[in-house]
Amino acid sequence: MSKGFEKILDECLERLIQGESVEECLARYPEQAAELEPLLRVALMAKEASSVEPRPELKAAARHRFQSAVSDMGHRRQRRGFALRWRWRWAMAIAVVLLLFVAGGSTVAASNDSLPGDLLYPVKTGVEQVRMWFATTDTGKAKLHAQFANRRIEEIIRIIEKDKPDKVPGLVERLVDHLDKIEQLVGAEPGVTVPSEGGAKVERFLVNNVAPNMLSLQDLELEKPALRPDLERARQAYDNALQAINRGGGGGQ
Amino acid sequence: MQDEKGLVERAKSGDTQALARLYEEYFDRIYRYIAVRVGSRADAEDIAGQVFLKMLESISSFKWRGVPFSAWLFRIAHNLAVDHLRQKAKKGHLVLDESMAISEIDPAVLAEVRLNIEQLNTALEQLTKNQKEVMALRFGAGLSTAETARVVGKSEGAVKALQHSALVALRKRLSSWRNDE
């Protein structure tokens, strides 16, 4: 049997399955018709014999069982997700408490001055993460993000002073992330009012504590032209966060 | 199916609408494939239902590794059909089910169709495992040669050769009946 014939047979079978008649297939290949016809007739018989449909009542019952299983799965996932989130939070909290117990509060205090690349820097960011998990309100979270944004700016300034410019993009990324989160938490679309008290508190912190450091960053933009794109990005994110708070009505102090 | 990948990804994350669409899209084809493999309409209904429950259990672990979702689903169906046939063979009552006849067909030709089905099923038992699998996927599920190749894990050329040899073998089995006709 030649491969050429198998190819022709396959093409005819494909057409037969799609609903073309045996005669139409044979008309396409008159030279192979004699060899093709008996096989196509058998194929047609197989196709027709296989054209069974499930009984509607049993199909409906199977669908019902499937839908029930889907619904059960959804509930299980929800419960599992909730339990896992809380288990994870508590596990981390316990880990931090243990760390404090073993290493002492002085370790955490010492980590406050650490910079990316230092041994204690993961302790610093880990403690920030845990503090964030336990903030329950949007305003509380936004205030923490503002504090941590300020820390990132201070770190950027110190790391540039230490002449480690390769660490700057990573820090800017984290800074922008904090500022974006502030925008999401206490900013609002035009015309939508956010709790002015929360927005105002965050804005006050940004203006009083973060703005002076932002000015230092602007000076560094001039001194370190190679870092300008990253630093400009940081400044833009800061401006956006402030604008978002004011747009939502948080500017009234 | 349009954007099957997106649909499957949504189903993996537990989207009930996506799961329902996959069910509607594949149920009948899976049912026909199993019906051809096990030769019993009632068993096929039961096993097709199990295929989708199995899909639900395992879809979160499905990964796109060059194998389409349909191939993955038909493999589940294949495994369940084979398990079923093994159990039946152990019990010693692997019988053909006449309820496979098409219920909607004109009664005047029903007898002929039933005969065809019986002979076809008997003839299928004489084929090799791979030939039977290819016949069920091509004519039961209506898969293309390329799709069939992915399900059975063979090249398209091998599938074409298998369907060719299967049809030749079937023709031999059915020739006496055809001559009588």
Q: What is the pLDDT of residue A250?
A: 40
Please name each of the domains of chain B with its CATH number.
4-180 (1.10.1740.10)
Mutation site for B-interface testing, chosen from A9, A50, A80 by largest number of B Cβ within 10 Å:
A50
pLDDT digits (tens, 9 = 90+) for B55-76: 998 888 888 777 789 989 999 9
> In A, which residues are within 8 Å of B120 by CB distance?
45-46, 49
Average pLDDT over residues A87-109: 69
Q: State how far the Cα of A130 lies from the Cα of A244, in Å rounded to an integer.
A: 26
What is residue A7's three-state secondary structure?
Answer: helix
Residue B61 burial class via C-beta count within 10 angstroms: exposed 0-12, middle 13-18, buried 19 and up = exposed
Q: Tell whether pTM > 0.90.
A: no
Q: What is the pLDDT of residue A103?
A: 64
ipTM above 0.90, yes or no: no
Decide if B49 and A66 are in contact by the 8 Å CB cutoff.
yes
Give yes or no for a contact between B30 and B78, defined as CB atoms under 8 angstroms apart: no
Decide if B14 and A69 are in contact by the 8 Å CB cutoff.
no
Q: What is the pLDDT of residue A45?
A: 83
Q: Where are the beta strands (DSSP E) in chain A?
A: none
Give yes or no for a contact between A187 and A248, defined as CB atoms under 8 angstroms apart: yes
Q: State how far the Cα of A130 lies from the Cα of A148, in Å rounded to an integer.
A: 13
Q: What is the pLDDT of residue B172?
A: 81
Helices then strands (H, E): number in chain B?
8, 0
Whether pLDDT at B179 is above 80: no
Give yes or no for a contact between A172 and A230, defined as CB atoms under 8 angstroms apart: yes
HEC profile of B40-103 = CHHHHHHHHHHHHHHHHHHHHHCCCCCCCHHHHHHHHHHHHHHHHHHHHHHHCCCCCCHHHCCC
User: Which member of A14, A41, A45 has the closest CB to residue B120?
Assistant: A45
Locate A87 and state its tokens: 């288990």
pLDDT digits (tens, 9 = 90+) for B25-43: 999 999 999 988 888 888 8
Whether pLDDT at B93 is above 70: no
Whether pLDDT at A8 is above 90: yes
16-35 in chain B: CB under 8 A from chain A: 16, 19-20, 23, 27-28, 31-32, 35
Q: State how far the Cα of B93 lies from the Cα of A91, in Å rounded to an integer.
A: 57
Q: What is the pLDDT of residue A136?
A: 80
